[in-house]
Structure 1
Amino acid sequence: MRRLAPALALGAAALVAVTGCGAQDGTASLGKVKLAAAEAVQQSAQRAGEVTSYSADLVLDATGGDKGASKVQGSLLYQSKPDLATDIKLDTITFGGQNVPGGARAILSGDTVYVKSELINKFAGATKPWIKVSLAELDAQEQAEVKDVMAQVQQFDLAGTVKLLTASKDVKAVGTETVGGVETTHYSGTFPVAEAAQLVDPAEREQLQEELSRVKDVKFDLWSDAENLPRKVTLSGSEQGATFNLAASFRGFNEPVQIAAPPADQVGDLPDGPAGN
């Protein structure tokens, strides 16, 4: 039996949680137009929906709960045109205080994903640095689970992350800050998970609700530039002794990104079963 879900979950871990001038009165200046904070967040979500490529740096920290401390840190390249493709590099992966040696990398191109991880290779008994997997090649018994994980990668986008913030009823502008050398307006607020989940695609809704099942409200901060593009987003929450903090910094909007499959001689197919079976 092919057991791919744990492998792809490592590759997709960073995507799951897998998102101008300010004034203290809850409004922000955007050019010559003065926007209420809630309207500015709405426009930021709209602008994010127009972005077809970008780069991002991601950090996820989680503490407490049954699994102990966890951390995922890495970077992401994304493009939706001419074809969907992502390149995820996870330099640091720690779950329950245990470090995953060598991190992980996943390249998604169409319906094919290439995964590189020392842990995955050891588990699967792979002989090449990269493992190539296509949904069409999966055993029926494993296919549904793998499709769920693939969907997390395929459906992640900048717009989806910022769209969650539009469920906020208390967002306000808190000042101006420079992010990545760009002047931005800093917005802060909270959003109820139940309401935010209704804003995402139904295929993603159940996953979001499950991931944040212990959290009623999520605190967020958004740094938006003069063009109302989101330069940075942080999400945080706590419940029953467990906490999480996710930070994503974005750049290179609509600029060309280089995403390519690994060299063919470095790629092998997923073995039929785990090493030793």
Structure 2
Amino acid sequence: MRRLAPVVALGAAALVAVAGCGAQSTGSLGNVKLAAADAVQQSAQKAEEVTSYSADVVLDASGGEKESGKIQGSMLYQSKPQLATDIRLDTITFGGQNVPGGARAILTGDTVYVKSELINRFAGTTKPWTKVSLSELDAKGQSEIRKFMDQAQQFDLAGTVKLLTASKDVKAVGIETVGGVDTTHYSGTFPVAEAAQLIDPAKREKLQEQLSQAKNVKFDLWADAQNLPRKVTLSGAEKEATFNLTALFKGFNEPVEITAPPADQVGDMPEHRGGN
């Protein structure tokens, strides 16, 4: 499991870098025809306006019989009136072994609530949920939760689509239906170093670190008539390990309900456990 972790992180970070643009191939949706580069540029602009959405994600990683794994789950996201996310990982498998009960994390404001049988066993907590302030994660030595939340906060639609503009070889493939919605399918690759320069400097180093060994990072993007991404697939490699990730986005700007768990089910995270 420990050796597979970088591959899983690679796939999670890859969700940020979902696609790219740059070539002059054209795609059409209805009567609208746009150069692939222009279409993805418009997607980046539209994504800036999105304040809430939901996503379904599947990540398959391989690195030998004992180092293969799968993560499958979903998330809710909102940026207003305050940043909040609800991430459910229903399936977590490493080396043929399942993580019992999966995992769930809710971020509201600056507080993280985590529900995980493994974390409960490791930390010695008795409540179903444990909580910790984001500002206290490092102080309390909760490195694994810090890594998890760092990756979770990369599920930012606007930041993701901004990375797409770094691609040099995007092309339109055709018109396809995703979740009952007509979309234009784009395909290409993106250079990690150049894409990293387009995002928040606070996230840049982490992205470069997680994707520094990635080879042949390929993407497919399905964008709807409003140029919003409806589906993304990514594939890449780190040395002898590979990952394949699929993300389905929906519910743009629709109301989402993200609430903290009941107080009587929440315990505090013990200090100085799971250190660096």
TM-score range, shorter chain: 0.7 to 0.9
Q: Cα distance 1:67–1:52, how it changes in 2: closer, same or farther (>3 A)?
A: farther
1:124 is matched with 123
Contact kept? 2:27, 2:173, Cα under 8 Å: no
Residue aligned with 2:153, SS: helix
Secondary structure of 1:194 counterpart: helix
Superposition map of 1:32-181 within 5 A:
32-64=31-63, 68-138=67-137, 140=139, 142=141, 150-181=149-180
Q: Distance in 1 between matches of 2:33 and 2:191?
A: 26
Against the structure 1 CA distance between its residues 141 and 85, is the aligned structure 2 distance closer, same or farther, given a 3 Å change threshold? closer
CA distance in 2 between counterparts of 1:144 and 1:125 reads: 16
One-letter amino acid matched to 2:192: V
TM-score normalized with structure 1 length: 0.85
The aligned residue for residue 249 of structure 1 is: 248
TM-score, normalized by length of structure 2?
0.85
Query: 2:21 maps to what in 1?
Result: none
Measured on the aligned residues, the alpha-carbon RMSD in Å equals 2.6
| CA distance 1:255–1:16, change in 2 (3 Å) | same
SS at match of 1:174: strand
Residues 95 and 179 of structure 1: is their aligned pair in 2 closer, same or farther, counting only changes over 3 Å?
Answer: same
**CA–CA separation in structure 1 for the residues paired with 2:237 and 2:152:** 25
Relative to structure 1, is the Cα distance of residues 70 and 148 closer, same or farther in structure 2, using a 3 angstrom cutoff? closer
Which stretch of the first structure deviates more once superposed, 183-192 or 199-208? Answer: 199-208
Identity within the alignment, %: 76
Unpaired runs of 5+ in structure 1?
1-8, 20-24
SS in 2 for 1:142: coil
CA distance 1:188–1:13, shift in 2 (3 Å): closer
Look up the equivalent residue of 1:26 and give its one-letter code: S
Q: Which residue of 2 aligns with 1:188?
A: 187
Partner SS state of residue 163, structure 1: helix
Q: 1:229 Cα shift?
A: 0.9
Return the offset for 1:45: 1.6
Q: Distance in 1 between matches of 2:180 and 2:165?
A: 26
Instruction: Return 5+ residue gaps in structure 2 as ranges.
Output: 1-5, 19-23
Give 3-state SS (helix, strand or coil) of 1:29's partner.
strand
